[in-house]
Amino acid sequence: MSTSQKLAGKVALITGGTTGIGLATALRFVAEGAYVYITGRRQAELDAAVQQLGPNAKGIRSDVTSQADLDLLFDTIKAEKGQLDVLFTNAGGGEFAALGGITEAHYDNTFNLNVKATLFTVQKALPVLRDGASIILMASIVASTGPENFSVYSASKAAVRSFARTWAADLKGRKIRVNAVSPGPIDTPGLSGLGADAAQAEQIKAYLASTVPLGRLGSPDEIGKAVVFLASDDSSFVTGTELFVDGGTAQV
């Protein structure tokens, strides 16, 4: 466990915190002294994550695409803790779809989850966020690159990246910092889920690893460490930016 306690005394919320990057970041936050709320849609996974996180965490079943769920989420945090110091909008996802075969449902599902939900999560958090808080948005390197058959997801993450800029300006009067973290290929359950079966998932992972200058996939914990930086006072003069954590994939 870290002895620096970079988030000591802070209250944080991580959406989509039951697995992968969200859970790894929650573990980091707890180790750094924060009290952490996590959300998820499935109660069993939420309970298992909280058990792993320990007494300085609480899970709230919540679907970030539901306005009613978001209202209940922030009402609960306000009643229990009074305010939030850190918000990490990690919940999101996407699927491959080739241009020419993109359906309205695919577009709506992707933008509702990645863009609309991010917007209303942050907007509904504003009354609970303290002045000087840190907001971290989950973007992706695909906002800057052009992966084949991933255009809708990539566009949704470009919108999230844009939010970091505009909201940094909107919230500067409250000294609230807004930044985006953009992972490269990370070995998560979500990445495995892009394959139709286990064999295809391994093929996708092997291909993605071959595109990374460092020669491997990243780990969820490596993203968690970067989010801790953006959440803490170590990044006190950083706002509106995009932190690439991608092994050089979008850089070289």
Q: Are 50 and 69 in contact (CB under 8 A)?
A: no
Contact between residue 38 and residue 19 where contact means Cβ atoms under 8 Å apart = no
**Could you tell me if 14 and 22 are in contact, meaning their C-beta atoms sit under 8 angstroms apart?**
yes
pLDDT digit string (tens) for the chain, length 252 residues: 445 699 999 999 999 999 999 999 999 999 999 999 999 999 999 999 999 999 999 999 999 999 999 999 999 999 999 999 999 999 999 999 999 999 999 999 999 999 999 999 999 999 999 999 999 999 999 999 999 999 999 999 999 999 999 999 999 999 999 999 999 999 998 888 877 888 988 998 999 999 999 999 999 999 999 999 999 999 999 999 999 999 999 999
The pLDDT assigned to 14 comes to 99
Domains of the chain: 11-183+220-243 (3.40.50.720), 187-217 (no CATH)
Cite the DSSP H helix spans in 211-247: 220-231
User: Cα-Cα-Cα-Cα dihedral of 154, 160, 166, 169, to 10°?
Assistant: -140
Query: 3-state class of 180 per DSSP?
Result: strand
Tell me the residue type at 146: G
Residue with token string 């170590």 = 234
Number of residues that this document lists for the chain: 252
- Select from 92, 91, 80 the least CA-distant residue to 35: 80
Taking a C-beta distance cutoff of 8 angstroms, is the pair 113, 155 a contact?
A: no
User: Residue 65 carries which DSSP code?
Assistant: T
Whether residue 37 lies in the annotated active site: no
Q: Which residue has the tokens 């020669």?
A: 215
Identified catalytic residue from 35, 37, 153, 207: 153
Identify which of 98, 124, 144 has the alpha carbon closest to the alpha carbon of residue 242.
144
pLDDT at position 3: 58
pTM listed for this prediction: 0.96
